[in-house]
Structure 1
């Protein structure tokens, strides 16, 4: 497991508002290039985001599904990014005064990334999720 955390200067509800707006996913998730569709029930369990990963012209269409969610508190996703594979991504939001401590952990669960030992994939996931939290902070702290 690779965990990152960041104190975001926004309330848990403000951070959740960003997470629960599926159309904003490519703004804060590193690797997501564009949204193709968002299930109307997002972020309910079983709902999906239909996105593309990569950079033009090498875009691959894929999806991310909600495995578990407690609104305003946490969400667990099964993120697909083939051919790299799939990962379980868990975000937890904890109030810290008027701010929010956001923790993200990601574990490869299938595909080539899951076959790699953690010392090989952990540094890349650590960097990626640090940048993901930085972007999430930019959106949550500056959204009106």
Structure 2
């Protein structure tokens, strides 16, 4: 009986280790399938423009810009050059399913790729969770750690 208990405990520990969060320094709900934090960060301020590849993504993009303006006072405008938050479709629509997304953050660009509007919405939720510096209306920018990730 003692050997069986020890074996079950060992198995439970192995399973919990296999399902541990990818990077404990980045706390997101739900926890992405994979996250790799890199050096640097992206500061979202009034110079950042929004590029939305398809009209199907306009609704979640509009929701995000409203949330951003409420929490930071930043009114994001549309554009394609300079510091950009780009929302685009997945290159292969068979990857990640309807609600999946990839989010890549570099010091000069954020690229969110998804198959449909639900994936865009979830990716933008993740981006809001990554913000640092509080949510004071007086805040004029916020910083997101650099990372390539997927869910």
Q: TM-score, normalised by structure 1?
A: 0.28
Of structures 1 and 2, the larger Rg is shown by: 2
Q: TM-score, normalised by structure 2?
A: 0.27
Structure with a larger share of its residues in strand: 1
